[in-house]
Chain A
Amino acid sequence: NSAEPVKIRMSWVAPVSNWASIVLEKKDLAKHMGKSYTIESIRYQGTPQMIAAIANNELEVSNLAYSSLAIAIGNAGLEDIRVIADEFQDGVPGHYSSQYYVRKDSGINKVEDLKGKVVGTNGGGSAIDIAIRATLKKHGLEEKRDYTMLEGPLPAMPAMLLEKKADLIPAVLPFALNPKLKEEGKVLFEQRETLGVTQMIVWTARKSFIDKNRAAMVDFMEDMLIITRWYQDPKNHAEVAQIASKITKAPPERFGWLFTKADTYRDPNLIPNVEALQRNVDVTQDLGFVKNKIDIKKYVDLSLAQEAAKRLK
Chain B
Amino acid sequence: MPPDGWPEKAARFTYIVVTRFFSIAVLLAAWEILARSGTFTPFQLPALSNVLLRIWQDAVTGDLAINTALTLYRALVSFAICAVGGVAIGMAMSRNRLAHWFFDPIISVGFPMPKIAFLPVIILWLGVYDVSKISIIVIDAIFPVIAATVIAIQGIERELLWSARNMGAREREMLWQIVLPAALPQIMTGLQVALPLTLIVAVVAEMLMGGYGLGGAMMTASRFANSTGVFAGIVEIAVIGYCLVKAMALLRRRLLIWHQEANEPTTA
User: Are A and B in direct contact (Cβ within 8 Å)?
Assistant: yes
Query: Top 6 A-B pairs ranked by shortest CB distance?
Result: A151-B210, A76-B225, A75-B225, A156-B120, A125-B223, A76-B43
Asked whether any CB of chain A lies closer than 8 Å to the CB of B189, the reply is: no
Asked whether any CB of chain A lies closer than 8 Å to the CB of B62, the reply is: no
* Bound CA span A76–B128, Å: 30
Chain B residues near A56 (CB-CB < 8 A): 44
| A289 in contact with B41 (CB, 8 Å) | no
Binary per-residue interface labels of chain A (159-178) against chain B in the complex, 1 for a CB within 8 Å, 0 otherwise: 11001010000000000000
* One of A13-21, A47-55, A95-103 at the interface: A47-55
Binary per-residue interface labels of chain B (119-140) against chain A in the complex, 1 for a CB within 8 Å, 0 otherwise: 1100110011000000000000
* Bound CA span A196–B119, Å: 34
Q: Which residues of chain B (216-238) have a CB below 8 Å from chain A?
A: 219-220, 222-227
Q: Residues on A close to B: CB < 8 A?
A: 46-48, 51-52, 55-56, 71-72, 75-78, 123-126, 149-153, 155-156, 159-160, 163, 165, 289-290
| A77 in contact with B209 (CB, 8 Å) | no
| B128 in contact with A77 (CB, 8 Å) | no
| A77 in contact with B41 (CB, 8 Å) | yes
Least CB separation from B223: chain A residue: A125
Chain B residues near A289 (CB-CB < 8 A): 224
* Bound CA span A149–B211, Å: 8
Binary per-residue interface labels of chain B (158-169) against chain A in the complex, 1 for a CB within 8 Å, 0 otherwise: 000000000000
The smallest beta-carbon distance between B5 and chain A, in angstroms, is 54
| B128 in contact with A152 (CB, 8 Å) | yes
Chain B residues near A155 (CB-CB < 8 A): 120
Chain B residues near A290 (CB-CB < 8 A): 224
Q: Which of B123, B209, B224 has the most CB of A within 10 A?
A: B224
* Bound CA span A78–B44, Å: 11
Least CB separation from B209: chain A residue: A151
Selected from B120, B124, B210, B222, the residue in CB contact (under 8 A) with A48 is: B222
Can you report 27 residue pairs joining A to B where beta carbons are below 8 Å apart? A51-B43, A55-B44, A56-B44, A71-B224, A71-B225, A75-B224, A75-B225, A76-B43, A76-B225, A77-B43, A78-B43, A123-B210, A123-B219, A124-B220, A125-B223, A126-B223, A149-B210, A150-B210, A151-B208, A151-B210, A152-B123, A153-B120, A156-B124, A159-B120, A165-B123, A165-B128, A289-B224
| A163 in contact with B220 (CB, 8 Å) | no
Q: Which of A72, A152, A290 has the most CB of B within 10 A?
A: A152
Least CB separation from A79: chain B residue: B41
Chain B residues near A51 (CB-CB < 8 A): 43, 225
Chain A residues near B225 (CB-CB < 8 A): 48, 51, 71-72, 75-76
Asked whether any CB of chain A lies closer than 8 Å to the CB of B110, the reply is: no
Other A-B pairs, 20, CB within 8 Å; known A76-B41, A149-B210, A156-B120? A52-B44, A55-B43, A56-B44, A71-B224, A75-B224, A75-B225, A75-B226, A76-B43, A124-B220, A151-B128, A152-B120, A152-B123, A152-B209, A153-B120, A156-B124, A159-B124, A160-B123, A163-B124, A165-B128, A289-B224
